[in-house]
Amino acid sequence: MASVVQPQVTVDEASPKKGPVDPAREVSCAVCQAWDTSLCAVLRSCASEGHAALPISTVHTVPARRTIFHPKEWSEFVPVICSGWSVSSIALPDGRRQILSFLLPGDAVSTAFLFGPLSGRHVEAVTEVTYRKFKRSDLRALLFENPDLFDRISKTWIDERVQADQLALDLGRRTASERIARQILNLAERLAKRGMMSGQTMEFPLRQRHIADATGLTPVHVSKVLGEFQRAHLIEISSRSLTILNEAELRIAADWR
Amino acid sequence: MASVVQPQVTVDEASPKKGPVDPAREVSCAVCQAWDTSLCAVLRSCASEGHAALPISTVHTVPARRTIFHPKEWSEFVPVICSGWSVSSIALPDGRRQILSFLLPGDAVSTAFLFGPLSGRHVEAVTEVTYRKFKRSDLRALLFENPDLFDRISKTWIDERVQADQLALDLGRRTASERIARQILNLAERLAKRGMMSGQTMEFPLRQRHIADATGLTPVHVSKVLGEFQRAHLIEISSRSLTILNEAELRIAADWR
DNA sequence: CGGGCAATTGAAATACATCAAGGCGTGTGG
DNA sequence: CCACACGCCTTGATGTATTTCAATTGCCCG
């Protein structure tokens, strides 16, 4: 238990806490690289503006591959990722599944989650993950006290809608290589925002099965396309990390904008 | 100009008004079949509860195939369909396009639209369409005055999220026949809610390329699948109307639930 | 050391796209 | 009113992107 499986994201170097509850919550968030994005930022800026304190939350740590949120869970808690990678998906009874998004530090599953339980969604850790659980009613209350908190949420909301639209466009109308290239570029961009890129290199804990489920393809085909990309020196993958060697060409392959 | 191209949905039989503004707005809405669903219902119930009056809106009528909302429009107005069918989509510069939803009477494009412009979206009339344009700021104001209006909107938001998830699952993980069958069942269900089904028969103004763009397929392939469905006596299509002959089997083809 | 998940690779199958031609209905202009 | 063009649908032949199947390897972990 003391030695962790993979030395992934080095977010929490200051406080690798194991207990379920962390009273000194501002401290640990202060180190979080995701301060600039998404819900966390919203909550923190709200607190720093002297309004109500941050709502109560409990911190949890789960190992890789563990379920964070179960599809038939009807919970009053909304999880927000603090460190590590996880994945949000829906599945068919026969096993086919579609990944809707990769969740990085600072991400909540969906803004819709703030207003009611979103059944059918499965959230699963890819690496070891720490996350916070907020009580829905707390967040809601906070939302009504702060009109500009509301503004920020609605902005996130719009973003989320745009993301969903793009996903549909990708899955419905793009080729396999385009989808994969876009997924890589998209992740790179999001990691960069969080200061989690070193140059053109990122930690890349995803299995090919994850990429397959996110792009609506087969693991086998993903392997072939990634192979082509590497032979064409667009990217390089080794020991759970990915480097973009030729961003310009990769963007062309992705038909980016 | 007086004779309209297609005698589609017969919603507005009481008032086929042509002018852009309609002062007697409650009246025309009272006939609307969509009173039970979505944004319209929300606004009307809000008004009937004796809060502020319905916000100002202007009524517009456009012929089939006309653009209602342009992708680069950055408008402060949010359109809500009153009668007719329309379609909301996004497109790639090279012409590929993905339909995100068919809009039926009572539908707004997206709840996200209430909070900010959603660029890139194209909304286009399929049949002759009448719609209302609300001013975003009016709706927003109304929203803050009525906490339970907000509740209803957020419910719609969750629904919309679930729809988006299902779309991704369909496009990413389902076969052509499944996608098409589901689209048909889905439309039937939504039309039924609006009282627009006569038994198992519905007006069906969609061209096969609409279905193709909604399901991520080619018009040619859609034709083949619809042909199979008809030969198998699951459905019958003739003169712009569609009948579900064998709902049970169609549901199986759709892998419904 | 053995077992299981992950990745690679090639061969075969298949679902869907593309291409092409013809028919049918409908609006349009002579 | 007719001829015509055009969009829409259908159908068959052919092409291709992706899946499925299968065998092999490496690797992590118990």
pLDDT at B99: 98
- pLDDT at residue A10 greater than cutoff 60: no
8 Å CB contact between A188 and A204: no
Q: Pick from B124, B28, B3, B31: which is nearest to B71 by CA?
A: B124
8 Å CB contact between A82 and A12: yes
Please tell me the distance from the alpha carbon of residue A42 to that of residue A108, in angstroms, as a whole number: 12
CA distance B99 to chain A (A): 8
Phi/psi at A13 (nearest 5 deg)? Answer: -55, -30
Query: What is the per-residue burial (b if ≥16 Cβ within 10 Å, else e) of B81-111?
Result: bbbbbbbbbbbeeeeebbbbbbbbbbbbbbb
Q: Provide the pLDDT confidence category of residue A21 given band limits of 50, 70 and 90.
A: very low
Using the beta-carbon criterion (under 8 Å), do B90 and A169 form an inter-chain contact?
A: yes
- Average pLDDT of A123-134? 94
Strand D, nucleotides < 7 Å from a protein CB: these are: 8-12, 17-22, 29
Q: What is the pLDDT of residues A164-201, one digit of tens each?
A: 999 999 999 999 999 999 999 999 999 999 999 999 99
8 Å CB contact between A84 and A127: yes
Please tell me the distance from the alpha carbon of residue A44 to that of residue A26, in angstroms, as a whole number: 8
Query: Which of B88, B90, B98, B209 to mutate: most A Cβ within 10 Å?
Result: B98
Strand C, nucleotides < 7 Å from a protein CB: these are: 6-10, 15-20, 27
Of A92, A110, A147, the CB nearest to B161: A110
Q: What is the pLDDT of residues A192-225, one digit of tens each?
A: 999 999 999 999 999 999 999 999 999 999 999 9
In terms of CA atoms, which chain B residue is nearest residue A117? B158
Residue A178, CA: closest nucleotide via C1'?
D17
Alpha helices in A51-146 (DSSP H): 136-145
CA distance A128 to chain B (A): 26
Please tell me the distance from the alpha carbon of residue B33 to that of residue B128, in angstroms, as a whole number: 16
Tokens of B110: 């997206």
Residue A227, CA: closest nucleotide via C1'?
C8
Cβ neighbours of A91 (radius 10 Å): 17
pLDDT at A32: 61
Q: Mean pLDDT, chain A, as a whole number?
A: 83
Mean pLDDT by 10 residues, chain B (257 residues): 33 35 45 56 60 71 93 90 95 96 94 88 95 88 80 89 97 98 97 94 97 98 98 95 97 88
8 Å CB contact between B203 and B9: yes
- pLDDT at residue A5 greater than cutoff 50: no
Residues of B within 8 A of A110 (CB-CB) are 161
Query: Which helix or strand (DSSP H or E) is residue A164 part of?
Result: helix A147-173
Given CB atoms, is B70 within the 8 Å cutoff of chain A? Answer: no
8 Å CB contact between B206 and B85: yes
Using the beta-carbon criterion (under 8 Å), do A173 and B96 form an inter-chain contact?
A: yes
Instruction: Pick out residues 153-212 of chain B having their CB under 7 A from any atom of nucleic acid strand C.
Output: 175-177
Q: What is the pLDDT of residues B141-170, one digit of tens each?
A: 888 777 778 888 888 899 999 999 999 999
Please tell me the distance from the alpha carbon of residue B21 to that of residue B28, in angstroms, as a whole number: 12
pLDDT at B45: 62
Q: Provide the pLDDT confidence category of residue A42 given band limits of 50, 70 and 90.
A: low
B240 CA vs C29 C1’ separation (Å): 27
Question: What Rg do the C-alpha atoms of chain A give, in angstroms?
Answer: 18
Phi/psi at A90 (nearest 5 deg)? Answer: -125, 155
Higher per-residue confidence, B161 vs A115 = B161
Using the beta-carbon criterion (under 8 Å), do B172 and A90 form an inter-chain contact?
A: no
Using the beta-carbon criterion (under 8 Å), do B98 and A216 form an inter-chain contact?
A: no
